[in-house]
Structure 1
């Protein structure tokens, strides 16, 4: 007896393949927000939450712009020229786990990341690699953070960088696990 393919299953698989082909890549959902996957989908009116997945980073950027998180757009991010993380005297006293979305701060020329200003220090394995995607950056200061070497920014991409200050920065080879003294 010849096996007949299950028509319903074939139809469902065909629809899924067609949808995947149209969309190209699946959308990623984090914290009830859709994160844009294609740069061509992003405009000045795109909500910040679509390009900045880290909620702490969203809060820091919104606080810097003096707007609620849900009101900040990619166009707003482009207006930031100086950013201190966490903001001195600000409400958010934590550091983000990663800086995905920082590349939309395309007029940023000064960035200061200081774990000493964070209430609970820096998160383990913080990812700073996206900082290399800010060609306008002229002054970068990072202090008191553990960063695995593969998550460090490629400083050679920062061609306008005049000042680089790294204080109490701990880096390690890939696979090394840093244990904080608690």
Structure 2
């Protein structure tokens, strides 16, 4: 049972930091012209130069948040690898001893994963609205949509930073 709990914690860490997690939260590359978006989120590319300056400024903020998220996902991936490696090196006795302590981190990782999925869904919905309003040149509504997207991204960044901290605690626990 204890081995299962620790293994589940490591597995969750893998799920949270997998490259597919990055792709799941960033499937729409609104600022690039590639055709690499999932079908259910196909939108015509936006001519950002035609958007008002305040929306372009918001897009710049969004680009900064995306870069920060990319860095966080890289940290999560690296920590996942360290946790996985450390876990492999543990004896069965040590795994059992750690399972109780790891249970809380595992619970926190599950909660963070769920929250990130919910934020991803909300972000997709906000992008859908932004595209609809920007295509109709309803810039006031589009600006509100972009502000919502940025708020959701900031919330996701905060949750991802928390995942990094949880992973660090889990890695330290395994190292003991």
Normalised to the residue count of structure 1, the TM-score between the two structures is 0.21
Normalised to the residue count of structure 2, the TM-score between the two structures is 0.21
Is the radius of gyration larger for structure 1 or structure 2?
1
Question: Higher helix proportion, which one?
Answer: 2
